[in-house]
Amino acid sequence: MSSGTMPSKPLTDAATSERMRKIRKKNTKPELAVRAALRGLGLHYRLHAPELPGTPDIVFRKLRKAIFVHGCYWHRHEGCRLTTTPKNNSEFWITKFAANVARDARKAQQLRELGWDVLVIWQCATNDQESLVETLREFISNEKNCES
């Protein structure tokens, strides 16, 4: 690495690398909570539609509705206490998080341009089951886009 350039990946120790490797992309606790709430409403859905922009976590094909269940940390839920930035190699993380947010917005817009309604459920919103159920019920019955 030449002097004055930033490495493309953060310098991490083995323990940090192991923790990062264990982070799930699918079937996370927040996603399972959303799926349980949908089943409680008697709704049937499809999971992880790779043919759609952004691979939504939950899809209602006939209704053309897609749900993303976002972790507050990785997807930068504004104002949430779970949205922190690591102190080590913070420049790298700030750039990475900004790219995540931009990608999320781009994929949601692409879905909307294809005629899909999009709902983002934040990790912290899955802690209040009653509110979560109401949000999901409203999204499924509503003709408009929704953002949790």
Kindly list the structural domains of the chain, giving each domain's residue range(s) and its CATH number in brackets, ordered by start: 25-141 (3.40.960.10)
The contacts of residue 110 (CB under 8 Å, 6+ apart) are 53, 54
pLDDT one-digit tens code per residue, 15-59: 655 655 556 567 899 999 999 999 999 999 999 999 999 999 999
Query: Nearest-5° angle of CA 94, CA 97, CA 20?
Result: 100
pLDDT score of 140 more than 70: yes
What mean pLDDT is reported for the chain?
Answer: 86
pTM: 0.80
Could you tell me the end-to-end alpha-carbon distance of the chain, in angstroms, rounded to an integer? Answer: 43
The mean per-residue pLDDT over the stretch 117-132 comes to: 96
pLDDT score for 26:
74
